Each structure stands twice: as structure tokens, then as C-alpha cells.
Amino acid sequence: MYAPERQQEILRLAREGGRVDVLSLAEEFQVTAETVRRDLKALDRAGLVRRVHGGAILAGRLDFEPDLAERDAVAADEKQRIARAALAELPGGEDGAGSSGSVILDAGTTAARLAAEIPLEAELTVVTHGLPVAARLADHPGLTLHLVGGRIRHRTRAAVDDWALRAYREINADVLFLATNGFSLDGGLTTPDLAEAAVKRALIAAARRVVLLADSAKFGQQHFARFGELSDVDLLITDTGLSPDDALAIERAGTEVVRA
């Protein structure tokens, strides 16, 4: 396949899915990752896609948002490692067990994985507006679980709008485990939906410590609604796909980084 033919096929895939990633394209076309990056660079120069960390999104699709099942399947191993590393940030020490405290779990696939990892002996107060997160914690014997209400967004199963905002204004938690669709030094923390962005801003204000759970593929991505800066985050837990240089740049900006 010649480069123009390959680029046309890449553009078709981007139009179908909203985004493409370098490694998957390299495997599909049996070429090197560097070849794919050159293809994406050519498409970016033509204004057809916009390059992001690890791949590209269709130009003009800053509001692209995959559904919950699709997001859960992306970077599954990395998300599991991030969730296990996040246990050390639960009130109670390295394994998250044996001590009381309060946490907010944002809606998100990595947060849901963290919920499933919380030890049975943990004694915590947990607040969430994410239905999948609450479902995983509902039968936990040691938790006091608070489910925040509001309008439920179909794509994320998250409660949003004024009811959720009012609830979060009334609490002060020890730790927030925050999710995001994109993060970068210049673009901050972003998500496709304005209503979800408003709730995320309320989460940040409701916690004394903010821990961002984000796989490395989200680094460099920017979406329509901006809800914070990286400086709002005390600790970023990501995977080793984030380069040491990028991790160092984030730490120099004031956010601690753990690469799980």
C-alpha cells in the first residue's frame, strides 16, 4: 500500500471512530510506528486530523466522546495498574485498609477499577456520582457510601447538573480521585461535556487532596470543556507510556507523578 492510500484509510478510520492510535495503525498496516506518525503528520498538515499524544483525532471533533464500554476496553492493563497504585492514596496507608477517612470517586472507568480494588477491611466514607462506581461499592461491608444524584448522562452514567453541584458544595473530603478525558501542561484538564466539567470543578473544590487517575494516552489531548489546570492536581497516577521527560515537565510544574 502506498502512503496516500494508507493515509486515506487512516482518515476513514478516524471518521468512523473519532480517533486513531499509532500502535493499532502500525499493527493493522504492518508498518513501523514512525511511518504511521509521518502519515498522521501529513494528515494534520492537511487539516484533516489533529495529532494528540499517541495518535490523532478527527479535526473539529473536540467533543468526541466514546461510550462507557469502549472507554473501559481502551488501555485496560494500564488502567488496572493505575487503580492498584491508587490504593496507596486511600486514607489508611499503602494498602488503603484499616483506617477511616473520606474520599470522592469521580465517574470514570479507572475510578470504577479502583472501586473494585478497595480491600474488604477498609473503613471509609465514599462519595460518588458515578453509577458504575456505586454499583461496585454497594455491597462493600466497611464503607459508608453516598450516591450523589442528578441528571444521568447516558454515555458516562454520571450524575450532572444542579443537584449534583449542590451536593458537592456541602462536603469536604480527604481525597478526590479525579478522572479526565485529556490533560496537558498548556491545555489543562478537559472533557467533552460542559455539564460534566462543572461537576469536576465542584469535585476539586470539595477535597483537600486531588489525585488524577489518567492513562498516558490522554496526555496531550484537549477537549471542548476545560475544568481545571494541572496545578490543581497534587498527584498524577499514570502508566509508563508517559515518557520520563514528560513526567519531569509535569513535576516541574508542581504536580507529583507516579508511573505505574
Question: Is the pLDDT score of 169 beyond 80?
Answer: yes
Q: Is domain 3-58 classified as CATH 1.10.10.10? A: yes
Question: Is the pLDDT score of 83 beyond 50?
Answer: yes
Question: Is the pLDDT score of 151 beyond 90?
Answer: yes
Q: What is the pLDDT of residue 226?
A: 94
Identical fold for domains 3-58 and 68-259, yes or no, is no
Question: Is the pLDDT score of 98 beyond 50?
Answer: no
Domain ranges of the chain: 3-58, 68-259
Range with the lowest mean pLDDT among 2-6, 66-70, 113-117?
A: 66-70
φ/ψ of residue 251, rounded to 5: -65, -35
Range with the lowest mean pLDDT among 97-101, 109-113, 165-169, 185-189?
A: 97-101
Question: What's the average model confidence in pLDDT over 129-144?
Answer: 95
CB 190 within 8 A of CB 181: yes
CATH number of 68-259: 3.40.50.1360
- Residue 83: DSSP 8-state: H
